[in-house]
């Protein structure tokens, strides 16, 4: 694999290829970006088509290679095989962390000017297909989005585009992949804006539209016009049912909080297992056991969502050892559905924690669908209501997307486009934002952004905050301020003044620790009196500032200290008192303006 990549790289730098690249750039001029967005759309759609076919044929081979049984105990072995193959591929072929695909994309946008590694073009696609094909309880959307984004990113680097254009082409690849998966071009663009934090301007809208439309058209050509929920019978919205969508929104928000926290808990537990083979073995056995009891956990789960919308509850429990208990007892039936909602989250987290590769997009839709089904069926059964079950299933899907990903608009438009109409728009507009607000009360960050945000490395739509975080304050230190020993006399201080061009001086003790400052203007009454040079000491003139900057301060804390003191300069020291230099308000402001100008360039 590595030799093939090196061969491809050498071909890219071949003089003939370079001349073709230069010809394209020269001929298209300003339209180069539009052409590339179309090409990225083609590549992103191709990735989605290839992965979906790989998944289909893998599932087909596994389902037909073994005899049909009332309880399929092969589910115990399939995840183990899939995760072993995935770990081997990642460890020996990729040699990089490729899990949490959307988070990798966000990290590239926030901290590396949209640059993704070349192996991301194929690695997550292959690893995700193996994991999900053998039953891993995750989704393929994140690996596909990472692959499409990597295509756009590396194509931009090939044509030597600016960082802002590189990020835009990355987003185009993401949109094309999403559009091809769901045949939902509007939702894919909203995803780029809402989740990837791409600003919607005149210069970004057209390339995103081109990529999304291209991805959708190619998907329709090669995968057909059937979409997961196209023929779902949606009940027209009735005002008297608005309360159920409000309740469903709050429930979806709370389940989203459970989703996020349970996933982190499982990750922490598995991270304590230092041996990879032990994580793999324990995780695979647990996952296989859960799939054996809950066969709906096998793979992405879109088939089960389709069963819910059709009302096929029997198919949900096929091959489960608990099937015989479901036929007559509603309490056990509802208990089983509750288990699906709660344990699916555990199955997803176990899959990735043990070494599998995949995302939470499909699991979020899955949990939301079962939550909507469970809530509406229970209310109908126990209270004699006639709530539209299918509508609740779809609204629950939008609600979980909004709560887990903190993307309410993506949830609304995705479900609306999947159902091939906007008849469900009002229920979606009620459930999705309520779920988002409920989730935000308990979880400030989404499943994709939490780690980056806690490190202060997440780009957001707030340009001011991002610009401040992007500044490397330690690189702006002024180290030309003279130092004076604490034990020095006034005469020795005057000697330092004579050799300095500054009016501020740093005082250090015998251990070279920061003690305070000397401001020349404050001591003019004594520095011109030679008779005082031996009787006055630096410690008598010392000024101890109320506020200093520590090297461990966040960017926001540093800016806050400038605002608090109104000073033009602040000393920077370590926590144990070592002096590092001075920060200048004017210099920080200049760099800040440059970053804002770069981000706002349209």
The string of pLDDT tens digits covering residues 198-215 is 888 888 899 999 999 999
Same domain, 55 and 199: yes
Q: By three-state DSSP, how is residue 489 classified?
A: strand
Question: Which of 223, 256, 290 corresponds to the end of one domain?
Answer: 223
Alpha-carbon span 134 to 57, nearest angstrom: 11
Same structural domain, 204 and 263: no
Does any domain span residue 483? yes
User: Do residues 504 and 366 both lie within one domain?
Assistant: no
Q: State pLDDT tens for residues 185-197.
A: 999 999 999 998 8
* pLDDT reading at 54 higher than 70: yes
Alpha-carbon distance 153 to 170, whole Å?
A: 5
Spatial separation of the C-alpha atoms in residues 478 and 465, rounded to whole Å: 24
Residues 418 and 443 in one domain: yes
447 and 479 housed in the same domain: no
User: Given the structure tokens 């928000």, which residue do they identify?
Assistant: 253
CA distance 318 to 59: 16
Among the ranges given (23-27, 524-528, 552-556), the one the predictor scored with the smallest mean pLDDT: 23-27
Q: Which domain holds residue 420?
A: 239-461
Q: What is the mean predicted confidence (pLDDT) over 33-45?
A: 92
Same domain assignment for residues 169 and 252: no
CB distance 583 to 473 below 8 Å: yes
CATH number reported for the structural domain that contains residue 435 in this entry: 1.10.3080.10
Do 501 and 416 fall within a single domain?
A: no
Domain annotation covers residue 175: yes
Q: pLDDT tens, 416-460?
A: 998 866 778 999 999 999 999 999 999 999 999 988 888 777 776
Start-to-end Cα distance in the chain: 40
Is residue 424 domain-shared with residue 446, that is, in the same domain? Answer: yes
- At 256-309, the pLDDT tens digits run 999 999 999 999 999 999 888 999 999 999 999 999 888 899 989 998 998 898
Is the domain of 450 the same as that of 472? Answer: no
Given pLDDT bands bounded at 50, 70 and 90, which one contains residue 21? low
Number of domains the chain is built from: 3
Please identify, among 461, 490, 508, the residue that sits at the C-terminal boundary of a domain.
461
How many Cβ atoms from other residues are within 10 Å of residue 265's Cβ? Answer: 13
pLDDT per residue over 537-589, tens digit each? 888 888 888 888 888 887 777 778 888 887 888 888 888 888 888 888 887 77
User: What confidence category does residue 4 fall into, taking pLDDT thresholds of 50, 70 and 90?
Assistant: very low
The answer to whether residue 327 is domain-embedded is yes
Question: Would residue 233 count as lying in a domain?
Answer: no
Bridge partners, 484 (sequence order): 507
State the residue for tokens 């960050």.
445
Helix (H, G, I), strand (E, B) or coil at 481: coil
Nearest to 129 by CA among 119, 120, 121, 141: 141
* Residue 481 shares a structural domain with residue 579: yes
Task: Please give the order of strands across the beta sheet that includes 549-550.
Answer: 549-550, 569-573, 579-584
Looking at the fold, whether 194 and 261 belong to one and the same domain comes out as no
Sequence-ordered list of residues with C-beta below 8 angstroms from that of 225, at least 6 positions apart, any chain:
183
What pTM, to 2 d.p., does this model score?
0.82
DSSP bridge pairs for 505: 518
- Residue carrying structure tokens 């037909």: 64
Does 492 lie in the same domain as 394?
Answer: no
**Domain annotation covers residue 232:** no
Q: How confident is the model at residue 9 (pLDDT cuts 50, 70, 90)?
A: very low
Please identify which residue in the block is written with the tokens 């899959």: 351
Tell which of 442, 461, 480 closes a domain: 461
Average pLDDT, the chain: 85
In a domain, 381, yes or no: yes
Contacts of 487 (CB under 8 A, 6+ apart): 510, 537, 538, 539
Residue 321, helix vs strand vs coil: coil
pLDDT band at 1 (very low <50, low <70, confident <90, very high): very low
The pLDDT, as a whole number, for residue 191 is 95
pLDDT at residue 7 in the model: 47
Question: Residue 231 domain-assigned?
Answer: no
Within a domain: residue 29? yes
The single residue listed with the structure tokens 């990549």 is 5
């Amino acid at each position: 694999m590595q030799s093939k990549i090196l061969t491809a790289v050498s071909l890219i730098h071949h003089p003939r290829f370079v001349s073709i690249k230069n010809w394209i750039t020269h001929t298209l001029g300003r339209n180069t970006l539009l052409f590339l967005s179309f090409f990225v759309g083609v590549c992103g759609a191709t990735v989605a088509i290839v992965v979906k076919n790989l998944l289909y044929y893998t599932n087909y081979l596994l389902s037909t290679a073994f005899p049909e049984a009332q309880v399929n105990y092969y589910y115990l072995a399939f995840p183990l095989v899939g995760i072993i193959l995935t770990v081997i591929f990642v460890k020996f072929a990729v040699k990089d962390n490729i899990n949490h695909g959307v988070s990798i994309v966000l990290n590239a946008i926030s901290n590396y000017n949209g640059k993704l590694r070349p192996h991301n073009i194929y690695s997550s696609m292959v690893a995700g297909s193996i994991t999900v094909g053998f039953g891993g309880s995750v989704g393929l959307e994140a690996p596909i989005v990472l692959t499409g984004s990597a295509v756009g990113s590396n194509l931009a680097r090939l044509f030597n585009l600016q960082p802002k254009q590189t990020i835009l082409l990355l987003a185009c690849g993401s949109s094309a992949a999403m559009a091809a998966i769901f045949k939902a071009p509007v939702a894919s663009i909203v995803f780029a804006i809402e989740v990837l934090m791409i600003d919607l301007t005149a210069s970004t809208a057209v390339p995103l539209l081109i990529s999304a439309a291209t991805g959708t058209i190619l998907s329709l050509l090669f995968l057909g016009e059937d979409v997961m929920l196209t023929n779902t019978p949606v009940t027209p919205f009735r005002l008297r049912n608005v309360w159920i969508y409000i309740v469903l929104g709050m429930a979806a928000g709370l389940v989203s909080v459970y989703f996020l926290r349970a996933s982190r808990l499982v990750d922490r537990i598995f991270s304590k297992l230092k041996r990879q083979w032990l994580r793999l073995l324990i995780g695979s056995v647990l996952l296989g056991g859960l799939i054996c009891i809950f066969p709906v956990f096998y793979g992405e789960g879109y088939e089960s969502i389709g069963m819910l919308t059709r009302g096929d509850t029997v198919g949900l429990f096929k091959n489960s050892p608990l099937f015989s208990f479901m036929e007559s007892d509603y309490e056990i039936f509802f208990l089983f559905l509750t288990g699906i909602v709660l344990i699916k989250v555990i199955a997803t987290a176990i899959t990735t924690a043990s070494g599998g590769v995949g995302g939470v997009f499909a699991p979020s839709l899955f949990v939301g669908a079962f939550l909507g089904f469970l809530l509406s069926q229970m209310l109908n059964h126990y209270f004699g209501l006639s709530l539209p079950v299918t509508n609740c299933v779809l609204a629950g899907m939008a609600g979980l997307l909004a709560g887990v990903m903190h993307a309410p608009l993506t949830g609304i438009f995705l479900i609306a486009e999947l159902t091939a109409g906007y008849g469900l728009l009002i229920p979606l507009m009620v459930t999705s934002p309520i779920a988002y607000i409920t989730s935000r009360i308990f979880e400030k960050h989404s499943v994709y952004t939490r780690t980056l945000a806690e490190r202060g490395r997440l780009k957001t739509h707030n340009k001011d905050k991002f610009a401040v975080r992007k500044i490397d304050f330690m690189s702006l230190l002024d180290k030309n301020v003279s130092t004076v020993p604490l034990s020095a006399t006034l005469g020795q201080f005057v000697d330092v003044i004579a050799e300095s061009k500054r009016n501020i001086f740093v005082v250090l003790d015998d251990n070279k620790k920061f003690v305070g400052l000397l401001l020349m203007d404050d001591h003019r009454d004594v520095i011109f009196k030679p008779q005082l040079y031996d009787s006055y000491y630096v410690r008598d003139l010392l000024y101890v500032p109320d506020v200093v900057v520590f090297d461990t301060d966040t960017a926001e804390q540093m800016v806050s200290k400038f605002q608090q003191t109104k000073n033009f300069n602040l000393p920077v020291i370590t926590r144990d008192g070592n002096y590092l230099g001075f920060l200048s308000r004017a210099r920080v402001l200049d760099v800040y303006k440059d970053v804002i100008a770069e981000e706002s360039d349209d």
